């Protein structure tokens, strides 16, 4: 591990090359570069998640921590490690002070693994518009988490307004287990589903996205019926011949209830942030199904047809504040 | 003018061939489409319909070491349907609980994925056992009623796959029992009924025809899944991706550019506890007939018109039928048997001194043969195949050796260390692909030496490769036959092996020391053609 205080981007690149050489990993491959944008207070949590993801994907992790944009003198501190505390891959943790924080791409661009896809993940509340953050503009995939925003429903709607192909959100990743269980239950039904209901928290982005997904797939309105308790309590599918299937969460188990068949019970564990991130990194192309679900629940049509590229919009928080 | 030029340069609209359009609707038009599934939605795993997996011979080695762990791994990865029953059948005085504890023990010992008690508790509620011998009519009647009952108690909807993890000599009796009780019939069960058969698929062409005839009669030909676990390996499937998804390799994949192909499957172990079976079988029937010829077929086949089971099998069978044997079998078909020696720092006994092997056994533990493929693409390119036990390391690979450049502008001394360009597909271990080519040695003078460019699965990909059995069992339950050899492939392979076995019959195999790369005669076989074996 190399720690560099008050350094330059060039020195960080040289330190990474030196680490690779001494680590004997000159030929090791990187399937992707993950750029993590995180606040100082959450560094521990983000590092833990990135470490889990790095153990499943050969990748280079670049953590960008923007600090004190109003500091008078710009400054860069960096920590370069290879096969160290941040998993088996290469990792650079960078703290940027002063105006440099607004030009983080000048440090990260030369550090991207050559010709490998770039994924940017905002650990905290997503930027209002991704085009405001240059670290999101050069990324092929952009991962946000609207659950970290103060107003989660507004943040979800903003994701639809701001959507470009290649965007995704962890509130969508959280419902993969639900979607897989519902699709498998549907397989056994041998019938066509005509209606669906989600019971849960009608202000929870995951519950809303699940309803959005069902409505885009079944071409019908799917309500989120408010119930006290978990974000998603249960989902009911109604079929054309009158049968219905209900999937309900009971702690770490998922119970599948059908007519004339005994209940089927499957483990349904909560997944850690690292596991969610690892799932997100498994695919590096645009997720059209997410676009349909997001568009469905937010009432914004044609999301899947949006172009994947954004152009950086200069947005100075200091100017906005004054 | 400019407009005309740009019109010419426009790419033609890719059109979907008729065959590919058929694929949209799979064979069994049983139920309406699942609206929640979409081929673009790759987060959702492929899961089978509700079904039961019935394993015959569930106390055997294969079941304990491979099948039961693979089923746990599938459950742990969330790939089994909500309604799934594992049903064991064996001659044991057991209840469900005894079988359950055996299954738990073997899953815990051999599973690939981490142990999760919650997954197991879920699975073990759906594990059943039916005791009985294969000649016991009553036991099979019980099995049939159990399957019928499971339809309502466990919602399996009449779907069942039968895994015959038993010696081939028992196939006829078990199949007749299934025929008698109507278990094998799709119509009778109201769902699908499939059967999984392990190698050996017979011991020569006649016995293979007999076996295929029987299995295909009791079940229908498309419901028979013959497992060649090599085809479940990620790298083997990658041969098709490498060849048909890239522009780079296919243009040189023919006799204009390829000098020769070497396919090797080496094992460091001896015969283990399989003495009786192995002594009656030998390396050629055990490995060459199935694994190696399948690897050869995938390496040499033409591009299938679409990536569907039928189209791929059609191309494979064409290659298998085009295989030619050497005229001079004495020179180009070598058999070996390991003698005592040292391997990995331990003393290894001779084959003839192994438990259960007679002192004058003529069974081969090593076979090497030069095959040809009589097609326009491959005429004149030798395919050297070899397999053996007690070789220095466990490795399977396909080496494609390219011809040397027709002219070298360098002086002879500059390129002394330049060999053939090679593309090596490492099937196991270190799954990946290596490309070998010449490169200048740094320094002032011109000197060219071989270097390797490496692609390693573990480094480039995100997902750990599943065990072959995981993949194949899942394919059986889903009904995808892409990775299973068809009956005519098996028969074509025996047409290659039978003449070799006839030639070898009664001959003494050449001895090689355990821990060596086979008998000297195999090296001489390549030396005769001016070539050498790659050291894998």
Residue of B nearest to A53 (CA): B462
User: Helix, strand or coil for residue B471?
Assistant: helix
Kindly determine whether residue B82 and residue A181, on different chains, have CB atoms separated by under 8 Å. Answer: yes
Tell me which chain A residues have a C-beta less than 8 angstroms from the C-beta of B122: 265-267
Beta strand pairing call for A167-169 and A141-144: parallel
Smallest CA–CA distance, residue B231 to chain A, in Å, is: 24
The pTM score is 0.85
**What pLDDT was estimated at residue B16?**
52
Any CB–CB contact under 8 A between B116 and chain A?
yes
**What pLDDT was estimated at residue A86?**
84
Q: Is the dihedral of CA B130, B135, B138, B142 positive or negative?
A: positive
**What pLDDT was estimated at residue B29?**
42
**What pLDDT was estimated at residue B407?**
87
DSSP-derived letter for residue B67 is: I
The average pLDDT across A266-278 equals: 89
Q: Is-contact A221 A205, C-beta < 8 A?
A: no
Q: Is the dihedral of CA B112, B113, B115, B118 positive or negative?
A: negative
Smallest CA–CA distance, residue A212 to chain B, in Å, is: 12
Size of interface A-B (CB pairs under 8 A): 112
In angstroms, the CA B154 to CA B146 distance is: 11
Encode burial over B501-532: b for 16+ CB neighbours within 10 A, e otherwise.
beebeeeebbbbbbbbbbbebbeebbeeeebe
Residue of B nearest to A292 (CA): B41
In angstroms, the CA B521 to CA B524 distance is: 5
Kindly determine whether residue A31 and residue B461, on different chains, have CB atoms separated by under 8 Å. Answer: yes
Domain spans of chain A, in order of start: 2-173+309-321, 176-267
Interface list for B 10-69 with A (CB within 8 A): 30-32, 34-38, 40-45, 47-50
Q: Is-contact A118 A139, C-beta < 8 A?
A: yes
Q: Is-contact B467 B73, C-beta < 8 A?
A: yes
Smallest CA–CA distance, residue B344 to chain A, in Å, is: 27
Rounded to 10 degrees, the C-alpha dihedral B516/B522/B524/B529 comes to -130
Tell me which chain B residues have a C-beta less than 8 angstroms from the C-beta of A31: 459-462
Tell me which chain B residues have a C-beta less than 8 angstroms from the C-beta of A256: 82
List, in order, residues 6 or more apart from A239 with CB less than 8 Å away.
A189, A191, A192, A193, A194, A245
Tokens matching residue A232: 């998603």
Nearest to A186 among B34, B38, B460 (CB): B34
Any CB–CB contact under 8 A between B458 and chain A?
yes
Residue of A nearest to B38 (CA): A289
The average pLDDT across A275-292 equals: 91
List, in order, residues 6 or more apart from B404 with CB less than 8 Å away.
B259, B418, B420
Of A91-100, A169-178, B234-243, B244-253, which gets the smallest average pLDDT? B234-243
Residue of B nearest to A288 (CA): B40
In angstroms, the CA B66 to CA B101 distance is: 16
**What pLDDT was estimated at residue B26?**
42
Tokens matching residue A306: 């949006």
Sort A124 into a burial class: Cβ within 10 Å, 0-12 / 13-18 / 19+: middle
In angstroms, the CA A207 to CA A152 distance is: 12
Residue A192 has pLDDT above 60, yes or no: yes
Second-level CATH architecture of B232-528: 2-Layer Sandwich (3.30)
- Chunked mean pLDDT (size 10), chain B, 536 residues: 44 52 43 85 87 89 89 89 88 82 90 87 86 89 90 84 88 90 84 89 90 90 90 86 92 95 94 85 91 95 92 94 94 94 90 90 94 95 96 94 90 83 89 89 84 77 75 92 90 94 92 93 94 91
Kindly determine whether residue B47 and residue A56, on different chains, have CB atoms separated by under 8 Å. Answer: no
CATH code of B46-198, in short, is 3.40.50.720
Smallest CA–CA distance, residue A56 to chain B, in Å, is: 6
Tell me which chain B residues have a C-beta less than 8 angstroms from the C-beta of A278: 462
Kindly determine whether residue A269 and residue B118, on different chains, have CB atoms separated by under 8 Å. Answer: yes
Tokens matching residue B113: 């994925």
Encode burial over B262-274: b for 16+ CB neighbours within 10 A, e otherwise.
bbbbbbbebbeee
List, in order, residues 6 or more apart from B499 with CB less than 8 Å away.
B325, B329
Tell which residue, A210, A204, A217, A201, has the closest CA to residue A175: A210
Kindly determine whether residue B43 and residue A176, on different chains, have CB atoms separated by under 8 Å. Answer: yes
Tell me which chain B residues have a C-beta less than 8 angstroms from the C-beta of A165: none
Give residue for tokens 């974000």: A231
Give residue for tokens 């399989």: B274
The alpha-helical segments, DSSP class H, found in B367-407 are none
Any CB–CB contact under 8 A between A269 and chain B?
yes
Rounded to 10 degrees, the C-alpha dihedral A93/A96/A102/A107 comes to -50
List, in order, residues 6 or more apart from A162 with CB less than 8 Å away.
A128, A129, A130, A131
Q: Give the residue numbers of B marked as catalytic.
A: 291
Q: Is-contact B310 B317, C-beta < 8 A?
A: no
Tell me which chain A residues have a C-beta less than 8 angstroms from the C-beta of B39: none
**What pLDDT was estimated at residue B25?**
40
Radius of gyration over alpha carbons of chain B, in Å?
Answer: 25
Contacts within 8 Å (CB) and 24+ apart, B474-477: B474/B46, B474/B48, B474/B74, B474/B79, B475/B225, B475/B232, B476/B161, B476/B194, B476/B196, B476/B225, B477/B48, B477/B49, B477/B51, B477/B53, B477/B81, B477/B161
Any CB–CB contact under 8 A between B459 and chain A?
yes
Domain spans of chain B, in order of start: 46-198, 232-528
Q: What is the pLDDT of residues A228-258, one digit of tens each?
A: 888 999 999 999 998 999 999 988 888 999 8
**What pLDDT was estimated at residue A149?**
94
**What pLDDT was estimated at residue B49?**
87
Tokens matching residue B105: 């023990």
Q: Which residue has the higher pLDDT, A295 or A23?
A: A295
**What pLDDT was estimated at residue B460?**
65
**What ipTM, to 2 d.p.?**
0.86
Tell me which chain B residues have a C-beta less than 8 angstroms from the C-beta of A192: 32, 35
What stretches of A155-231 adopt beta strand conformation (E)?
A: 167-169, 193-200, 224-226
């Amino acid at each position: 591990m190399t720690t560099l205080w008050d350094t330059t981007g060039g020195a960080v690149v040289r330190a990474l090359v030196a680490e690779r050489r001494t680590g004997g990993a000159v030929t090791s491959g990187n399937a992707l570069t993950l750029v993590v944008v995180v606040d100082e207070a959450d560094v521990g949590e983000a590092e833990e998640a990135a470490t889990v993801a790095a153990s499943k994907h050969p990748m280079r992790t670049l953590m960008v921590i923007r600090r004190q944009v109003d500091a008078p003198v710009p400054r860069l501190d960096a920590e370069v490690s290879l096969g160290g505390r941040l998993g088996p891959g290469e990792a650079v943790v960078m703290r940027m002070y002063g105006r440099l924080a607004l030009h983080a791409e000048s440090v990260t661009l030369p550090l991207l693994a050559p010709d490998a896809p770039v994924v940017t993940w905002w650990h905290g509340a997503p930027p209002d518009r991704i085009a405001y953050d240059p670290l999101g503009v050069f990324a092929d995939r952009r991962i946000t988490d609207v659950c970290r925003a103060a107003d989660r429903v507004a943040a979800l709607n903003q994701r639809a307004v701001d959507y470009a192909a290649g965007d995704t959100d962890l509130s969508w990743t959280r419902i993969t287990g639900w979607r897989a269980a519902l699709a498998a239950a549907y397989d056994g039904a041998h019938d066509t589903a005509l209606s669906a209901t989600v019971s849960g928290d009608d202000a929870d982005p995951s519950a809303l996205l699940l309803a959005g997904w069902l409505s885009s797939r079944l071409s019908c309105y799917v309500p989120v019926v408010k119930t006290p308790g978990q974000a998603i309590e249960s989902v009911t599918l109604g079929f054309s011949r009158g049968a219905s299937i209900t999937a309900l969460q009971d702690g770490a188990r998922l119970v599948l209830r059908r007519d004339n068949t005994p209940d089927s019970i499957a483990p349904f564990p909560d997944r850690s942030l690292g596991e969610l991130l690892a799932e997100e990194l498994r695919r590096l192309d645009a997720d059209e199904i997410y676009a349909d679900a997001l568009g469905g629940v937010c009432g914004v049509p044609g999301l899947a047809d949006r172009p994947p590229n954004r152009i950086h919009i200069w947005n100075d928080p200091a100017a906005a504040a004054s | 003018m400019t407009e005309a030029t740009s019109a010419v340069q426009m790419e033609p609209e890719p059109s979907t061939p008729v065959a590919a359009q058929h694929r949209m609707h799979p064979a069994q038009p049983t139920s309406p489409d699942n609206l929640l599934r979409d081929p673009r939605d790759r987060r959702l795993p492929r899961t089978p319909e509700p079904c039961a997996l019935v394993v015959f011979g569930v106390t055997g080695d294969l079941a304990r070491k491979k099948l039961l762990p693979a089923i746990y791994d599938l459950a742990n990865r969330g790939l089994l349907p909500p309604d799934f029953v594992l049903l064991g059948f064996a001659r044991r005085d057991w209840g469900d609980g005894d079988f359950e504890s055996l299954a738990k023990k073997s899953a815990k010992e051999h599973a690939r994925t981490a142990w999760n008690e919650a997954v197991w508790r879920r699975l073990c509620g759906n594990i059943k056992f039916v005791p009985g011998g294969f000649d016991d009519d009553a036991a099979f009647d019980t099995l049939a009623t159990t399957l019928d009952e499971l339809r309502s108690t466990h919602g399996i909807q009449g779907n069942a796959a039968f895994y015959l993890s038993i010696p081939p000599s028992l196939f006829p009796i078990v199949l007749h029992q299934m025929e008698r009780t109507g278990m094998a019939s799709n119509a009778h069960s109201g769902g699908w009924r499939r059967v999984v058969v392990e190698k050996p698929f017979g011991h020569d062409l006649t016995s293979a025809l007999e076996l295929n005839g029987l299995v295909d009669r009791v079940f229908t030909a498309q419901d028979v899944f013959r497992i060649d676990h090599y085809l479940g390996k990620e790298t083997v499937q990658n041969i098709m991706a490498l060849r048909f998804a890239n522009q780079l390799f296919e243009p040189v994949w023919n006799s204009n550019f390829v000098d020769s192909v070497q396919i090797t499957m080496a094992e460091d172990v001896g015969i283990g506890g399989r003495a009786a079976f192995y002594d009656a079988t030998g390396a050629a029937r055990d490995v060459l007939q199935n694994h190696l010829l399948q690897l050869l077929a995938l390496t040499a086949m033409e591009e299938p018109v679409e990536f569907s089971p039928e189209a791929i099998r059609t191309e494979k069978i064409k290659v298998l039928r085009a295989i030619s044997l050497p005229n001079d079998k004495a020179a180009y078909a070598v058999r070996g048997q390991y003698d005592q020696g040292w391997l990995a720092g331990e003393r290894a006994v001779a084959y003839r001194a192994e438990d259960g092997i007679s002192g004058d056994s003529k069974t081969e533990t090593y076979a090497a043969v030069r095959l040809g493929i009589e097609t326009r693409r491959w005429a004149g390119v030798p395919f050297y195949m070899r397999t053996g036990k007690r070789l220095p390391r466990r490795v399977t690979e396909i080496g494609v050796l390219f011809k040397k450049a027709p002219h070298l502008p360098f002086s002879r001394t500059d390129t002394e260390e330049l060999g053939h360009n090679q593309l090596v597909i490492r099937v196991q271990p270190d799954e990946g692909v290596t490309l070998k080519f010449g490169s200048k040695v740094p320094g002032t003078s011109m000197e060219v030496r071989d270097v390797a460019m490496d692609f390693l699965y573990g480094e480039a990909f995100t997902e750990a490769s599943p065990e072959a059995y995981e993949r194949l069992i899942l394919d059986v339950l889903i009904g995808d036959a892409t990775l299973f050899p068809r009956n005519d492939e098996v028969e074509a392979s025996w047409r290659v092996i039978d003449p070799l076995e006839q030639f070898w019959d009664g001959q003494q195999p050449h001895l090689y020391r355990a821990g060596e790369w086979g008998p000297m005669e195999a090296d001489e076989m390549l030396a005769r053609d001016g070539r050498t074996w790659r050291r894998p």
